[in-house]
């Protein structure tokens, strides 16, 4: 197939034309269903376990946020201010609540409306590379601008942000970023947000997604819609994934100079919030204290202690051995900062989420990404940002990206239920059961080859679960005076 799409499991899409109606045969993707063998990975030696443990031990930079105290203080206020929403009731902290490690205990986030994605934690976000489950933001600064204009979250607009900053934060804002230019504050205010531009995956990527689609109900509704609209099923899938194009709004029709002035103030708003978010860090968990003790002894059993006993150690051995979890959940934040398809079948019948395949296109097209006209990060950050370098060379025609989502951190799972990008798993145990069995149905795209059903006993799953819980700790963050 052209454009380097690798159909790694040989999934095929067969077009059948019967009396002018185009039908699709959804080829099954061999693989997970039949591989019912135990993962072959061996347990690590004590030395290797020690090395793995040290690599996962939390280490924070002296100052997680290198921003000025005044910027952090302003950001902390913006984070909790419900005035930045269309109904006066939604702030970032509505969904990112400090008591639950900055999550909301709901399957999917709810602001102005209930959304379709689970609210991730923002703990240790200072170390993140990509943000959102599909990684559509390449910096914490750019991320912060998304929810504000999302009609289902804050339902606000950048023009309204400028107005509120002038009315309530003029002095601290201008002390940090300079005067708000008259072009942004024109008395004739425009409060429309820009029209959203759908990011469409290529025809090849869409065809691949269609061929691997694991939901019979969704397949049926796509075929049905294709027939009723006289379109190709693949076009229906493309539209579903991208969302519909909006008509240009009053903001889009503003003179460039005004748009630019508003965008600049808006990105500074993102900078202040990001400065606060960088202060949100976890402290030492029982696991980290175990790691410290282990560094001074040869045998891990000599390092056991409060909150980390035999069961946690057995769980750690599974995590780093048979479970092979460290393949993706690695390092001190237990994430490789990458995107993977772990084989979750689509649950909705009227929409499909292509995950990273969509996210990378949005990041590429964003005016606030490091390649955009209004790069939200400051220059100093951009030069050290890994996602910024990656973004330039990203492979947008990748089959691997279809149905792949960001590897979430495993710190503070105690507080962050429910789990998964769409909050489908109420308990940690449900996630573990998924890895233990792996579904027999296809997902969208293909489940990563490294994943095999683990076939752990329920006692072993208990151990893995208590180990995961030992990664929880209190959360430190800047509190305004
Ligand atoms: C209505 C609930 C809601 C509100 C309000 C909200 N968020 Fe979120 N936040 C979410 C959800 C849901 C996601 C994941 C969305 C996705 O991936 O598509 C998310 C993602 C994030 C992420 C990315 C985390 C990661 O690991 O990828 C950060 C950071 C974040 N939000 C910060 C903020 C900030 C800052 C604000 C205020 C400007 C805010 N959020 C407002 C629900 C909310
Ligand atoms: C191939 C990479 C990969 C491997 C191996 C892997 N994970 Fe994951 N994990 C992910 C990704 C990606 C997600 C998010 C998936 C989604 O929601 O679509 C995830 C989600 C999770 C979650 C949910 C966290 C949350 O906040 O929603 C838990 C818990 C978890 N994994 C634990 C484990 C354990 C335990 C193992 C080993 C048995 C493991 N993972 C192996 C990539 C991986």
pLDDT digits (tens, 9 = 90+) for 275-303: 999 999 999 999 999 999 999 999 999 99
Angle at 208 between CA 207 and CA 214, to 5 degrees: 110
pLDDT above 70 coverage of the chain, percent: 90
If one compares 101 and 6, the residue with the highest pLDDT of the two is: 101
Q: Which residue has the higher pLDDT, 20 or 230?
A: 230
Domain assignment present for residue 324? The answer is yes
Q: What is the CATH number of the domain that holds 294?
A: 1.10.760.10
* Residue 379 belongs to some domain of the structure: no
Same domain, yes or no: 477 and 408: yes
C-alpha–C-alpha distance, residues 84 and 157, integer Å: 9
Is residue 22 pLDDT above 70, yes or no? Answer: no
Q: Is the CB of 408 under 6 A from ligand 2?
A: yes
pLDDT at 63 over 60: no
Considering the domain architecture, whether residues 473 and 445 belong to the same structural domain is answered as: yes
Write down the pLDDT at residue 384. Answer: 85
The verdict on residue 458 lying in a domain is: yes
Mark whether 22 and 45 lie in a shared domain: no
Could you tell me the residue range of the domain that residue 460 belongs to? 37-58+286-355+402-481
Q: What is the DSSP string of 22-34?
A: EEEEE----STTT
Of 93, 100, 147, 409, which is best to mutate to test ligand 1, by the most ligand atoms within 8 angstroms of its C-beta?
147
Tokens describing residue 159: 């023009």
Task: Say if ligand 1 is within 6 A of residue 111 CB.
Answer: yes
Residue 125 lies in a domain: no
Give Dmax (Cα) for the chain: 75
pLDDT at 224: 93
Q: What is the pLDDT of residue 44?
A: 86
Total domain count, the chain: 2
Distance (Å, whole) CA 278 – CA 299: 36
pLDDT at 440: 67
User: Containing H/E element for 475?
Assistant: strand 475-476
Given pLDDT bands bounded at 50, 70 and 90, which one contains residue 197?
confident
- Same domain? 461 vs 338: yes
* Whether residue 422 is found in the same domain as residue 478: yes
Closest CA to 136 of 353, 366, 371: 366
Question: Looking at 213-222, 241-250, 315-324, 439-448, which range is the least confident one?
Answer: 439-448
Q: Flag whether 449 is in a domain.
A: yes
Q: Assess whether 336 and 202 both reside in one domain.
A: no
Same domain? For 7 and 52 the reply is no
* Ligand 1 pocket check for 273: Cβ under 6 Å: yes
Residue 150 belongs to a domain: no
For ligand 1, is residue 76 a contact (CB within 6 Å)? no
**Angle, helices 216-229/233-242, rounded to nearest 10 degrees:** 110
Q: What's the pLDDT score for residue 64?
A: 65
pLDDT band of 349, cuts 50, 70, 90: confident
What residues does 191 pair with on adjacent strands?
none
- DSSP assigned state of 180: P
Q: Please indicate, yes or no, whether residues 296 and 422 belong to a single structural domain of this protein.
A: yes
CA dist list (Å): 202 to 206, 370, 416: 6, 23, 35
Confidence of residue 10 (pLDDT cuts 50, 70, 90): very low
Say yes or no: 318 and 410 in one domain: yes
Query: Residue 60's pLDDT band (boundaries 50, 70, 90)?
Result: low
Do both 342 and 419 map to the same domain? yes
Q: What is the Å distance from ligand 2's center to 359 Cα?
A: 19
Say if residues 192 and 157 touch (Cβ distance below 8 Å).
Answer: yes
159 assigned to some structural domain: no
Q: Which of 251, 174, 236, 162 is nearest to 206 (CA)?
A: 236
- Domain boundary residue, one of 209, 242, 275: 242
Residue 90 near ligand 1, beta carbon < 6 Å:
yes
- Picking from 315, 313, 352, 381, the residue whose alpha carbon sits closest to that of residue 443 is 352
Average pLDDT of the segment spanning 304-330: 96
DSSP conformation letters of 459-471: HHHHHHHHHHHTT
For the CA of 93, the nearest ligand: 1
Percent of the chain with pLDDT over 90: 75
How far is 280 from 475, CA to CA, in rounded Å?
7
Q: Which domain-ending residue is among 188, 216, 242?
A: 242
**What is the CA(397)–ligand 1 centre distance, in A?**
27
Contact of 139 with 367, CB cutoff 8 Å: no
- In the prediction, which pLDDT does 264 show? 97
Same domain, 226 and 293: no
With cut-offs at 50, 70 and 90, classify the pLDDT of residue 32: very low
214 CA → ligand 1 middle, Å: 28
Cα of 341 from ligand 2 centre, angstroms: 10
Distance 334 CA to ligand 2 centre (A): 10
- Say if CB 209 and CB 402 are below 8 A apart: yes
Question: pTM higher than 0.75, yes or no?
Answer: yes
208 and 343 together in one domain: no
The model's confidence at residue 107, banded by pLDDT at 50, 70 and 90, is very high
Q: Is the pLDDT of residue 326 over 60?
A: yes
Give rounded-to-5 percent helix, strand, coil for the chain.
45, 5, 50
Check if 145 has its Cβ closer than 6 Å to any atom of ligand 1.
no
Average pLDDT over residues 118-126: 97
CA angle, 267 then 268 then 270, to 5°: 65
Question: Average pLDDT in the 379-402 region?
Answer: 90
- Structural domain ending residue among the three candidates 208, 242, 276: 242
Q: Does a structural domain hold residue 372?
A: no
Q: What is the average per-residue pLDDT within 25-52?
A: 59
- Say what the pLDDT of residue 351 is: 84
36 pLDDT higher than 60? no
Confidence of residue 19 (pLDDT cuts 50, 70, 90): very low
Q: What is the DSSP string of 77-116?
A: HHHH-TTSSTTS---HHHHSBGGGTTB-SSSS-BSSSB-S
């Amino acid at each position: 197939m052209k454009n380097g799409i690798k159909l790694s499991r040989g999934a095929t899409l067969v077009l059948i034309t019967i009396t002018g109606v185009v039908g699709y045969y959804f080829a099954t993707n061999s693989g997970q269903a039949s591989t019912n063998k135990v993962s072959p990975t061996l347990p690590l030696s004590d030395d290797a376990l020690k090395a793995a443990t040290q690599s996962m031990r939390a280490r924070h930079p002296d100052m997680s946020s290198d921003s000025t105290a005044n910027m952090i203080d302003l950001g902390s206020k913006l984070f909790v201010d419900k005035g930045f929403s269309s109904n006066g009731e939604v702030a970032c902290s509505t969904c990112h609540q400090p008591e639950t490690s900055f999550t909301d205990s709901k399957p999917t986030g709810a602001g102005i409306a209930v959304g379709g994605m689970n609210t991730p934690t923002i703990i240790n976000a200072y170390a993140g590379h990509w943000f959102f489950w599909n990684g559509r933001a390449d910096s914490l600064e750019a991320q912060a601008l998304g929810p504000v204009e999302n009609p289902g979250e804050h339902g606000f607009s950048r023009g309204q942000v400028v107005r509120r900053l002038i009315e309530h934060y003029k002095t601290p804002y201008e002390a940090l970023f300079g005067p708000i230019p008259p072009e942004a504050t024109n008395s004739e205010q425009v409060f429309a947000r820009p029209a959203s531009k759908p990011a469409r995956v290529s025809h090849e990527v869409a065809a691949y997604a269609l061929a691997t689609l694991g939901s019979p109900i969704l397949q049926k509704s796509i075929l049905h819609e294709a027939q009723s609209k006289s379109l190709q099923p693949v076009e229906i899938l493309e539209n579903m994934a991208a969302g519909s194009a909006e008509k240009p709004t009053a903001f889009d029709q503003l003179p460039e100079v005004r748009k630019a002035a508003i965008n600049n103030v808006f990105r500074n708003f993102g900078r202040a919030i990001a400065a606060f978010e960088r202060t949100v860090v976890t402290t030492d968990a029982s696991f980290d204290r175990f790691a410290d003790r282990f560094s001074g002894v040869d045998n891990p059993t000599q390092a056991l202690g409060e909150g980390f006993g035999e069961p946690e150690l057995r769980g750690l051995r599974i995590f780093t051995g048979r479970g092979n979890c460290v393949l993706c959940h690695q390092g001190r934040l237990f994430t490789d900062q990458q995107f993977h398809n772990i084989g979750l079948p689509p649950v909705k019948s009227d929409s499909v989420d292509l995950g990273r395949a969509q996210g990378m296109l949005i990041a590429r097209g964003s005016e606030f990404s490091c390649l955009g006209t209004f790069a939200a990060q400051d220059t100093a950050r951009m030069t050290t940002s890994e996602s910024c370098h990656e973004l330039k060379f990203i492979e947008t025609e990748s089959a691997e990206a279809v149905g792949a989502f960001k590897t979430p951190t495993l710190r503070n799972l105690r507080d962050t239920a429910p789990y998964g990008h769409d909050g489908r798993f109420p308990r940690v145990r449900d996630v573990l059961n998924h890895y233990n069995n792996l579904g027999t149905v296809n997902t969208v795209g293909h489940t990563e080859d490294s994943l095999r059903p683990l076939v752990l006993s329920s006692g072993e799953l208990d151990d893995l679960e208590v180990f995961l819980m030992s990664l929880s700790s209190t959360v430190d963050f800047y509190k305004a005076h």
